[in-house]
Amino acid sequence: MKAAVLKSFGSPLIIEDVPEPTIGTGEVVVDVVATRVLSYMNEVFSGERNYALDLPIIPGPGGIGRVRALGPDATRLAIGDWVFCDPTVRSRDDAAAPDIALQGLTAAGPGGMRLQQHFRHGSFAQQMRVPTENVKRLGAITSEEATRWCALGTLLVPYGGFLAANLRPGEIVLVSGATGNFGSAAVAVALAMGAACVVAPGRNETILADLVRRFGDRVRPVNLTGNEDEDRERMKRASPGPIDCVFDIMPPSVSPTVVRAAIMTVRPYGRVVLMGGVGMLGGPGLELPYNWIMRDCITIHGVWMYPPDAATRLIALVRSGLLRLDHTDATEFDLDHANEAVAHAAANAGPFKMTVIRP
């Protein structure tokens, strides 16, 4: 089969023929029809992000495809089923605290690296091998619709954060990083889950106005100044009531003071979700007042990805019509032009934009 292979950091992907994946118990082989390209994949491939990858590897976190082969323990899947391949692979020998690898992208700790050595290859290929529990049925779709269903991979990240925070209908949410790709997805997901409104701070007035255009007056935009105290008050004033939940998805390049300004808008007994990259590339970490956390009974959730059942629940949210996929504009590339797709994703990052490879 044909695949795009990363053989060394700083080098382009090599498009070549590789052996087809073999199947074992607890595994499924999927014919990949469409897979998204993360906007920062170029930084992963260059080594700038210092992601844990045991090279050579076929990259690509998750994708949309059809079941090609099943292991003997699959009881609901069938050959030909349209599925989403969830890239969050968990070890099976410690359910309470599993090791995690993001298939085709990175791994956490020594256990995650061991996991990656088996489920190493991702979706930039014509076929991929996936743990049975990571293959989520989509129902009937067309080949053309596979591209837009790739948006699940982006939407799942904030969905996991809101599940951790137990977001309830009617609550007020603040999304720190609302003008980014994952942040704008967080706005859409929070509203689909029943948030009364979403406070959306940012410096890009055009993107803030677009969020209001897409979702109406349930989005409350806030133009940031860069002054921590002033911005915190602006965000509070924009909210129609106490802010129940703050969701942070700021990238590594952002100052911790910007993140802190947003976090400390949350009401007493409120919840904070941290899914961003503060300090990931070095520099100061996030400092929060101990007394404020303690006296205001603030719950802080550090969340990496989402629980195992999240993809199935999110698919149901889309099928219900509460969460729409047609907000996202996609640009398609074939596998032979994978390097061009990576460059395009980096140059066209932003809300509701997606670059897709169709192997």
Q: Assign 86 a pLDDT band (cuts: 50, 70, 90).
A: very high
Cα–Cα distance measured from residue 164 to residue 24, given in angstroms and rounded to the nearest whole number? 33
Q: Is 153 helix (H, G, I), strand (E, B) or coil?
A: helix
pLDDT-based confidence at residue 289 (cuts at 50, 70, 90): very high
Name the segment(s) of the chain with CATH classification 3.40.50.720.
Answer: 156-302
Distance in angstroms (rounded) separating the CA atoms of residues 329 and 355? 9
Average pLDDT over residues 246-275: 95
* CB distance 223 to 205 below 8 Å: yes
> Cis omega (within 30 of 0) on the bond before 256?
no
Please, which residues have CB within 8 angstroms of residue 111's CB and are 6 or more apart in sequence?
91, 99
pLDDT of 142 > 80? The answer is yes
Where in the chain do CATH 3.90.180.10 domains reside?
A: 2-151+328-358
User: At residue 176, does pLDDT exceed 80?
Assistant: yes
Answer CATH for 2-151+328-358 from 2.40.50.140, 3.90.180.10, 3.40.50.740, 3.10.50.30 = 3.90.180.10
At residue 29, the pLDDT reads 98
pLDDT above 70 covers a percentage of the chain that reads: 100
Mean per-residue pLDDT over the chain, rounded = 95
How confident is the model over 116-140, as pLDDT tens digits?
Answer: 999 989 999 999 999 999 999 999 9
Query: pTM here?
Result: 0.94
Residue 278 pLDDT class (50, 70, 90 cuts): confident
Enumerate the β-bridge partners of residue 232.
Answer: none
Residue 95: per-residue pLDDT: 86
| pLDDT tens-digit map of 18-48 | 999 999 899 999 999 999 999 999 999 999 8
Q: Give the Å distances, CA to CA, from 89 to 133, 191, 255, 282, 353.
A: 9, 28, 31, 27, 26
What is the fold of 156-302? Rossmann fold (3.40.50)
pLDDT at 330 over 80: yes
| pLDDT over threshold 80, residue 280 | no
- What pLDDT shows up at residue 279? 81
